[in-house]
A and B are shown apart, each in its own frame.
Chain A
Amino acid sequence: MQSSFLKKKPKVNGAEESQGVRGWLDRRYQLTPLVEFLRHKEVPIGSHWMGWYYLGGITMFFFVVQVVTGVLLLMYYQPGEATAYESIRFLTTKVPFGWLIRSIHSWSAHLMIISLTLHMFSTMMLKAYRPPREMTWVSGYMLFLLTLGFGFSGYLLPWNKLAYFATTVGTNIVKSVPLLGDWLLQVLRGGQDVTINTLYRFFAAHVVILPLGFVGIIALHLLLIQRQGMAPPVGATIAPRGMKFFPSFALRDALLWLACLMALATLAVFLPYGPGIPGMDWELGEKADPLAPAYPGIKPEWYFLWEYQLLKEFPPHLFGLEGPQVCLLLIGVLFGIWAIIPWLDRRAYHDKPSPAFSDFGWAAILFLTYLTLMGWDIGARGISDELAAMHNVARVCASWTLVVGALVIVVRYWKFGGRWFILSGAALLQVALHGLAGVSYLLSGVIAVAVAAIAIAISYMTNSRTDAGDAK
């Protein structure tokens, strides 16, 4: 019996059997159902802004850029005491277009984290995490953590002074983990201190371990999105027919990616070492020297500034534990809450508008903004006395955050009909208490949380549980 593969197919117009490459593939791998699925895949459109749907793709685009430029950098980078710094110096000065590859790699890293943050907060506000998409949220959250790991491990690789001290400060935190602290520190650093062994481990993490994990989880993340389609926001009116993913959405996606590429190229040529903001500056500088004293004004990268600042706000001892331990605990709790939001948000669970959680998202944004601004020491210029500088920094950053927060509230109230402001209000209260009234950061936080709890309790008791207006 002759195999159906080998029988020559008659050319029939409009017949189901396809010809050429497509036919060849289809006969072997039954791609038709897949192709049909993709052809009918739709993106929900309606009264909501489509823009948010592009952020995930943009993040992925930046990641692809990272992989490509990363592989190219691997061709010349050599980890090692005498070669890490020198190889990057050689790469950026002598290798043709080496400056371009490195600059794009650095810029794309920061832009990826920015777009990832926007993507995370937009999906959070739009409640895309509600069933059936809980695991999409969780996998995305894991991707977020992996990306931070990428940023942290990659930062050390040039083996320059800035990276060396930033890594020393950053890995020091791990000491405060109870029981495992010392073990974790040694495993992370490859010893007690940051040495070239740390570089070897970070290199392995950055180039193999994290990419493997990332690719695995992003495959899952994309698979889930493909299977379940993109989530429409709660309470928005959805058009009966969505926008076709191929070609409409995909081409728009591609257009945006090309625009991002254009931005990357321009930034690489005109700002090859970053915008010059502390924490966002990758000029190669001097080679790391473990015997030299610490870098003055050492700061971690901007996306870690909030943690760095938060650690500074804790006293050396609290509740019988060390300050940093309590801080880590708090951060762990916050991160944990963020991870299980799909199960905490009961209203979104039932597809109902959930203004409380939108407000929670805004509170988180304001919380992070205030800490990051303070981490940048904005307002400290020209003041020599440390204590006075700290107070001024708190005051200036608080003013900025309050302005932004007020703006957010106004826009939410007017444009989106929001009425739920307890949590973001509490965040602003903490900002005002600490920055303007000089109350300690922790105490202001406790007061704000208490006020919020009371307000929530009151609102539960006085309001009946009806859908209060539109969500946002």
Chain B
Amino acid sequence: MRAIAIVVGGFLISRAIFAADQAPAAGNSKLTAMLAAKDANGKPIITPEEQAYFSGLNDNLRALLDDLVQKEVITRPEHLATLLGLQLRPQKMEVLLQNRCVLCHTDPESQSAENLFSVGTTSRQSAVHMNLKEVIEDVHFRRGLSCAGCHGGDPTADFGHGFVKEWPEKDRQKNRAWVVEFCARCHSDPKMMHDFNPSLPTDQLAKFKDSPHGRTLLDKHDDRAPSCVSCHGVHGIRPAKDPQSKVYAQRVPETCGACHADAKTMAGFTRADGSPMPITQLAEFRESVHGRALLVRGDLGAPACNTCHGNHAASPPSVAQVSRSCSLCHSANASLFDGSKHKQAFDQHRWPECGQCHSNHAIAKTHDSMLATGPGQLCGDCHREYARDHPDCIKTADYFHDTITQLDQARTRFIAVSERFAGRGLDVEPINNQLTELGDALKKSRTYVHSFSRNTFQQVAAPGEEAVKQTDALIKKAGEEFKFRQIGLVMSISFIGLLMLAMYLKLRQMEK
């Protein structure tokens, strides 16, 4: 009797524990019902993909969803469908499900159209900041921040709507100067930033305040000036390394160009010398070597606007700063130039060293003809105007031009010959090795032009000329080899021919 009681009791207890474990089962029915709901035409409201997504969720997320359904935060299957249809990854889903702001603002029953998040892929619609997918991908949409971090309130409360006191009550859309202070609440606070991303710098506001952008916005109160959100966006702020970020290297030119290439926006702004601000930089950059490298070839080592101008402290470089920017990558040319006669001369004229010959935005592919001294050519024109009492300098330019052109022409010629010889079956590897040397010497020569000194230039041009000599010798040797083959062929053909003749005569003789 006792044994039976113990057994039955044990069984009932384990069942109860088991049932408690399954407690959500009781609540499951509401959620299950919603999942199985059908619309007026009998079609299920929750599509099979959304069902599959739901089944793939971990227990925690499913429990969260069930909880929301229980608490009647989610009341309609259409709302549930919207949320499941986002197909979010688990950590984002978790943040979303614990965020009443988003949950409410995705429910058409609770919100008017202008306060409703739209769902869909990123598109350049005007209310892009109301695109839920953009919001989800924002770096701020994470635990501890999300909506309340900027908008204030309590995301766990039912209808919390406390707005941040730093936001001005009126004129929030005009007079945007408050934006930078608002973002800087966190972003200039090292302790705050340490909690969320220790490796981010915190000096953006300080830099901005001291820049033309900052002074225009904060001192001159001109709303055309950019604030943080102008470049970084409002809701879909992504890290700069993310290709979809507005400040990703390849998108920086178009982000800057949104204002700087627009006549209306730039109207009235002037440069330091009083001339109107140009709006041609973006177009010039796009056509330049740097623009093509960055935007067409996808070379992320190429500079975008911020590489030379800075981003938060963006400002036009001073005359001296130009060459220092260029020398970040073009160090060889810079060091050669610094030791050259041109440095003194350019500094006297207060010319921007690199930019004087190569331009700043419209940097075109260099051409050997720039060294030429004829009318309309770079070196010649400048020297005839500014360096009339140094006639030997033009001769140096001529020397550079002639040497480089000779090397270049020789190289083109040799490449054609090498291909022809290769087609004839000759060994062109030694020739190609010399051609590599020649190509290297040519590249170096074009760099060493920046020393504007014959001696220095000779250091790298001489190996090139040597390579030309060697290649000439090798080509001659290859030509001789081919002649040898032809002669060998003629000789063996004559032997064969003679033998054939002898055999033919013998044949005739034998058959007589």
Contacts A258-B496, A262-B497; A93 near B504 (Cβ below 8 A): no
Are B486 and A269 in contact (CB-based, < 8 A)?
yes
Interface flag for B385 (CB, 8 Å) = no
Chain B residues, CB < 8 A from A270? 424
Q: Which of A246-254, A341-349, A447-455 contacts B (4 or more CB under 8 A)?
A: A246-254
CB contacts between A and B, total, < 8 Å: 49
Chain A residues, CB < 8 A from B5? none
Are A269 and B500 in contact (CB-based, < 8 A)?
no
Interface flag for B503 (CB, 8 Å) = yes
Are B429 and A251 in contact (CB-based, < 8 A)?
no
Q: B59 to nearest A CB, angstroms?
A: 42
Interface flag for B427 (CB, 8 Å) = yes
Are A273 and B425 in contact (CB-based, < 8 A)?
yes
Q: Which of B468-483 contact A (CB under 8 A)?
A: none
Are B506 and A251 in contact (CB-based, < 8 A)?
yes
Are B510 and A255 in contact (CB-based, < 8 A)?
no
Interface flag for B493 (CB, 8 Å) = yes
Are B496 and A255 in contact (CB-based, < 8 A)?
no
Are B503 and A255 in contact (CB-based, < 8 A)?
yes
Number of chain B interface residues as a range: 20 to 34
Are B507 and A258 in contact (CB-based, < 8 A)?
no
Are A252 and B424 in contact (CB-based, < 8 A)?
no
Are A266 and B429 in contact (CB-based, < 8 A)?
no
Interface flag for A368 (CB, 8 Å) = no
Q: B172 to nearest A CB, angstroms?
A: 55
Indicate the member of A259, A262, A269 with the most B CB atoms within 10 Å. A269
Interface flag for A142 (CB, 8 Å) = no
Are B503 and A251 in contact (CB-based, < 8 A)?
yes
CB-defined interface of B422-451 with A at 8 Å, one 1/0 digit per residue?
A: 011111010000000000000000000000
Chain A residues, CB < 8 A from B492? 265
Interface flag for A261 (CB, 8 Å) = yes
Are B507 and A252 in contact (CB-based, < 8 A)?
yes
Are A93 and B429 in contact (CB-based, < 8 A)?
yes
Q: Which of A64-106 contact B (CB under 8 A)?
A: 92-94, 99-100, 103
Contact among B426, B489, B499, B511 for A266, CB-based, below 8 A:
B489
Are A248 and B424 in contact (CB-based, < 8 A)?
no
Are B500 and A265 in contact (CB-based, < 8 A)?
no
Are A262 and B507 in contact (CB-based, < 8 A)?
no
Contact among A99, A251, A269, A283 for B489, CB-based, below 8 A:
A269
Chain A residues, CB < 8 A from B388? none
Are B499 and A273 in contact (CB-based, < 8 A)?
no
Interface flag for B221 (CB, 8 Å) = no
Interface flag for A233 (CB, 8 Å) = no
Are A259 and B503 in contact (CB-based, < 8 A)?
no
Bound-complex Cα distance A259 to B489 (A)? 14
Q: Which of B200-225 contact A (CB under 8 A)?
A: none
Chain A residues, CB < 8 A from B425? 92, 99, 103, 272-273
Interface flag for B92 (CB, 8 Å) = no
Interface size on A, residues (CB 8 A): 23
Bound-complex Cα distance A93 to B486 (A)? 17
Q: B477 to nearest A CB, angstroms?
A: 13
Bound-complex Cα distance A266 to B496 (A)? 12
Chain B residues, CB < 8 A from A100? 485
Q: B474 to nearest A CB, angstroms?
A: 13
Contact among A94, A254, A273 for B503, CB-based, below 8 A:
A254
Name A248's closest neighbour in chain B (CB-CB). Answer: B511
Chain B residues, CB < 8 A from A255? 500, 503-504, 507
Q: Which of A235-278 contact B (CB under 8 A)?
A: 247-248, 251-252, 254-255, 258-259, 261-262, 265-266, 269-270, 272-273
Q: Classify the interface of chain A: helix, strand, loop or mixed.
A: helix
Chain A residues, CB < 8 A from B485? 100, 269
Bound-complex Cα distance A247 to B497 (A)? 19
Are A247 and B510 in contact (CB-based, < 8 A)?
yes
Chain B residues, CB < 8 A from A266? 489, 493
Bound-complex Cα distance A92 to B427 (A)? 8
Chain B residues, CB < 8 A from A252? 507
Contacts A92-B425, A93-B427, A251-B503; A262 near B496 (Cβ below 8 A): yes
Chain A residues, CB < 8 A from B496? 258, 261-262, 265
Are B506 and A265 in contact (CB-based, < 8 A)?
no
Chain A residues, CB < 8 A from B493? 262, 265-266
Q: B447 to nearest A CB, angstroms?
A: 31
Bound-complex Cα distance A64 to B454 (A)? 65
Q: B480 to nearest A CB, angstroms?
A: 14
Q: Which of A337-367 contact B (CB under 8 A)?
A: none
Name A276's closest neighbour in chain B (CB-CB). Answer: B423
Chain A residues, CB < 8 A from B506? 251
Chain A residues, CB < 8 A from B510? 247-248, 251
Are A273 and B489 in contact (CB-based, < 8 A)?
no
Q: A3 to nearest B CB, angstroms?
A: 39
Bound-complex Cα distance A270 to B493 (A)? 14
Bound-complex Cα distance A94 to B510 (A)? 46
Are A258 and B499 in contact (CB-based, < 8 A)?
yes
Q: A58 to nearest B CB, angstroms?
A: 15
Contacts A248-B510, A266-B489; A259 near B500 (Cβ below 8 A): yes
Name B497's closest neighbour in chain A (CB-CB). Answer: A262
Are B500 and A94 in contact (CB-based, < 8 A)?
no
Chain B residues, CB < 8 A from A248? 507, 510-511
Q: B205 to nearest A CB, angstroms?
A: 50
Name A102's closest neighbour in chain B (CB-CB). Answer: B425
Are B507 and A251 in contact (CB-based, < 8 A)?
yes
Bound-complex Cα distance A251 to B426 (A)? 36
Q: A261 to nearest B CB, angstroms?
A: 6
Q: B510 to nearest A CB, angstroms?
A: 6
Are A265 and B503 in contact (CB-based, < 8 A)?
no
Chain A residues, CB < 8 A from B488? 269
Bound-complex Cα distance A41 to B436 (A)? 65
Name A261's closest neighbour in chain B (CB-CB). Answer: B496
Chain B residues, CB < 8 A from A283? 423
Are A272 and B424 in contact (CB-based, < 8 A)?
yes
Chain A residues, CB < 8 A from B503? 251, 254-255, 258
Chain B residues, CB < 8 A from A261? 496
Q: B484 to nearest A CB, angstroms?
A: 10
CB-defined interface of A377-405 with B at 8 Å, one 1/0 digit per residue?
A: 00000000000000000000000000000
Chain A residues, CB < 8 A from B426? 99
21 contacts between A and B (CB under 8 A): A93-B427, A93-B429, A99-B425, A99-B426, A100-B485, A248-B511, A251-B503, A251-B510, A252-B507, A255-B507, A258-B496, A258-B499, A258-B500, A259-B500, A261-B496, A265-B489, A265-B492, A265-B493, A266-B493, A269-B488, A283-B423
- Give the 9 A-B residue pairs with the shortest CB-CB distance, closest first: A272-B425, A93-B427, A269-B489, A251-B507, A262-B496, A258-B500, A269-B485, A99-B425, A258-B496
> Given A94-B427, A251-B507, A255-B507, 13 other A-B contacts at CB below 8 A?
A99-B426, A100-B485, A247-B507, A248-B507, A255-B500, A258-B496, A258-B499, A262-B497, A265-B489, A269-B486, A269-B488, A273-B423, A273-B425
